[in-house]
Copies of this chain bind each other. A is one copy, B any other.
């Protein structure tokens, strides 16, 4: 009854590769938390569960195809899969859709290559109340397994936009009345001097840890998080948290 390599398992496990994700518009979500959020969002096209997981999470696994441990190992990206893997439809939307909704807070990952960082920015942006996260330029695939895991479900809460053209994205944001703030350790605006400006609709640009942001982006301001000690910089996750929460606080008049 349990088979390792049904054609559906074989097809699903190919989604570990970006090429197959891009071609099919599908991706994998793994573990009870992500699967719960995926089901709630209505993007699950197929669900695989081990018999043990089906017993443990009956509310999630009712429509699951049962697979054995070896098939689950093949489907899962982690060493200790929790017995649940969902095939999901990718859920990105065009930038125009986000802009038409009058967004207050947006995070833009520019050329971020590390999937853990991408997932962490998704999670932090969601927590701070952002409407959307835009993956711009040569950014990592947000449907990469590690990005999905690091997002801790937030990939399913915010609007995801993918945009190759970073300069065009910045221009579209500004044309829609969203101020664009570039997080930049060498920026000439101090984050903590900006309180009033932070209450306006804002898109924060975050660059890669290795290379920062492209120099030629036409942002409204380049903003640095002040460094009070001996550190030369913050890591990406920390800088994004401080910037996004500064905006969230200012927008609520707190």
A125 to chain B, nearest CB (A): 8
Set of chain B residues within 8 Å of A99, measured between Cβ atoms: none
Pair B241/A157 contact, Cβ less than 8 Å = no
Report the bound CA distance from A125 to B128 in whole Å.
21
Q: Which residues of B contact A103 (CB under 8 A)?
A: none
Residues in B neighbouring A231, C-beta threshold 8 A: 123-124, 126-127, 152-154, 157
Cα-based distance from A165 to B143 in the complex (angstroms): 42
Candidate in A124, A192, A228, A254 with the most chain B CB atoms within 10 angstroms: A228
Given contacts A158-B229, A252-B192, A254-B192, contact A235 B128 (CB under 8 A): no
CB distance from A185 to the nearest CB of B (A): 10
Task: Give chain B residues whose Cβ lies under 8 Å from the Cβ of A249.
Answer: 192
Q: Is A227 an interface residue (CB 8 A)?
A: yes
Total copies of the chain: 2
Contact check, A238 vs B123: say whether CB atoms are below 8 A apart. Answer: yes
CA distance A193 to B253 in the complex (A): 11
Instruction: Report chain B residues within 8 Å CB of A227.
Output: 127
Chain B residues, CB < 8 A from A120: 235, 237-238
CB <8 Å contact, B230 and A153: yes
Contacts of A82 in B (CB 8 A): none
A232 and B128 within 8 A (CB)? no
Asked whether A127 lies within 8 Å of B225 as measured between CB atoms, the reply is yes
- Say yes or no: is A199 at the interface (Cβ < 8 Å to chain B): no
In the complex the two chains form, is B229's CB within 8 Å of A128's CB? yes
- Chain B residues whose C-beta falls within 8 Å of the C-beta of A130 in the assembled complex: 229
Contact B235 A248 (CB under 8 A): no
Q: Does A217 sit within 8 A of B, measured CB to CB?
A: no
- Contact mask for chain A residues 233-254; partner B; CB cutoff 8 A; 1 contact, 0 none: 1110111111001001100101
